[in-house]
Structure 1
């Protein structure tokens, strides 16, 4: 089976909200194609993990995820025997459908590379569930002892340095979402001094957020800058009532090693700060590994790949946070994921398959 056929099979399987069928397919396919060379496991949350090769001091993993975001109506078959399956179209050298770019195409390339490679040591394939909802699968696997020394995560890295070139991302931003809650004391608006206005306290907090220094770090010749943005505010119950509660949500894009000092808002009376989601950033700590993956990517394509950075959080953040040296290298291009006409280049899928296989056969050194 070639990478186009395997991608078509994977993409056609509904995997929004319930990834079971996609996991079943991956597990069965690996069991059949890898034969007795690999050990395939399926954990209680649905992650599929396969291992082959001789145990070595260092382990390399090819990592992806088989969940997707909600498809558009046009991306789902609505009649006939295939009703409910996801639509997959091929035209102009690309595959179109939910999950082609993010990221069943990369999962298919990694599955084939895993089966075909003659690794230098232990090679691991992992496809996680729940990446789109905060890295549920990756976090579960890490808590259960999943700890490769190195990982190539197949999220998109194509078209960053120049159009059509599959680069190697050596760092990406994380995301911390939080809530600032201001409380006060209610009163009639005609006697405002009898209360404590929670909206005023909240706007004082907004002032602090607006003036916070944004963390930044230099990586691969880029200035990777974080951001802190107030995105929602809600408070008050009526036009003539002093509000006793006001909530603000904050979207913060984090960078490796630094965070904005949002805790400063708690210096205001009646204000609390709560972290709701914290997706960690990633930075590869092994230049030799990053160079080796870039060399493999260069050998697989006519263009010249570069080390780049990504603005989006991926499962590489969770792995890096747990001690794995990661890079991101995959077929998706900026702007393709999560769109109603999501697509991926077939040529680039083949390129990634070859890149993954080459890395597996040359690393660890």
Structure 2
């Protein structure tokens, strides 16, 4: 089976509420088309997610993983037909929910895993996780169970960053820390505001603290990565004539490796407490040789394609604005890069699609790295 065929079959399987059926497809495909050791764990079992699918072949002291996820965000109505996902091809693209994020990359990784012959003394791993779209359920469970490859290529989108149609290699990405500020006061009649303590005023003071914070930033392999901090929601008060006793503020922070905004300063405001609700870790590749090896594979694949139809550029090391499962793996000690066919603006849209040429290109990249990298 070619990459496009596998991608088409996988994209057609609904996996926005329960991804067990998509996991079944991945597991059965590996058992049918490879002689690898295939396992399925219990990640997300209580929610019916079906567990992560992991396959291994080769053996040795160095392990390289090709990593993806087979869950997707809820589809647009136009992307569903008779209970399944609509999949079609046009203008050199595969169209459907999950084609870009990220079943297309999973298909490319499956075929590369099947065809690659890893070097002596190296283990090649394939992993497709559940629950990436809801905070890395599968990746966190895998890490907790001891999943710890030495190196990983995570197939999230990196195409079109340096130039249209060019598959780059991301050496870092931002994380996301979502926080809630709760301002407590005391209620009073609005005609006697001095009798109470206005929680909205306290929240406003905390918002001023957030507004004045400097954005975190760092540099990874010569690429600048800048974070951000923004207040995104505010809710408080109970009636037009009551001094509010409670107000909540939501803060979205895009984090960078090794840096966090000092949001704890908001608790210097009387009555304000700060709680972290979600903290998706950023990623920074910690091995320049590995990052360069994947970049060389990307350039070779792009050059081979451009020899037939000249393209617009040469792959580069880039940084991504979005959190991925690479953050969880890197946090646990795996050296990661991100390299995949999806382009900016394609994921999570009603017109989601992925370039068929980019799928084939990623297959070549993954196979090249799997057959050449031994640490």
1:51 and 2:56 matched: yes
1:312 maps to which of 304, 311, 322: 322
Counterpart in the other structure of 1:100: 99
Counterpart in the other structure of 2:90: 91
Give TM-score, length-normalised by structure 1. Answer: 0.97
CA distance in 2 between counterparts of 1:293 and 1:169 reads 10
Q: Is residue 221–residue 288 contact of structure 2 (8 Å, CA) maintained in 1?
A: no
Tell me how far 1:208 sits from its aligned partner.
0.3
1:187 and 2:188 matched: yes
Q: CA RMSD in A?
A: 0.8
CA distance in 1 between counterparts of 2:343 and 2:316 reads 15
Q: Is residue 220–residue 308 contact of structure 1 (8 Å, CA) maintained in 2?
A: no
1:177-256 superposed matches below 5 A: 177-256=178-257
CA distance in 1 between counterparts of 2:351 and 2:191 reads 55
CA distance in 2 between counterparts of 1:257 and 1:124 reads 28
SS at match of 1:190: coil
SS at match of 1:224: strand
Counterpart in the other structure of 1:61: 65
Give TM-score, length-normalised by structure 2. Answer: 0.94
SS at match of 1:291: helix
Counterpart in the other structure of 1:333: 343
Q: Is residue 148–residue 332 contact of structure 2 (8 Å, CA) maintained in 1?
A: yes
Q: Is residue 105–residue 156 contact of structure 2 (8 Å, CA) maintained in 1?
A: yes
Counterpart in the other structure of 2:306: none
Counterpart in the other structure of 2:163: 162
Q: Is residue 184–residue 270 contact of structure 1 (8 Å, CA) maintained in 2?
A: yes
1:322 and 2:323 matched: no
CA distance in 1 between counterparts of 2:26 and 2:176 reads 30
Tell me how far 1:266 sits from its aligned partner.
0.7
Q: Is residue 3–residue 109 contact of structure 1 (8 Å, CA) maintained in 2?
A: yes
Q: Which runs of 5+ in 2 are unaligned?
A: 44-50, 304-312
Tell me how far 1:207 sits from its aligned partner.
0.5
Q: Is residue 71–residue 130 contact of structure 2 (8 Å, CA) maintained in 1?
A: yes
Q: Is residue 199–residue 235 contact of structure 1 (8 Å, CA) maintained in 2?
A: yes
SS at match of 2:251: strand
Q: Which runs of 5+ in 1 are unaligned?
A: 78-82
CA distance in 2 between counterparts of 1:219 and 1:285 reads 9
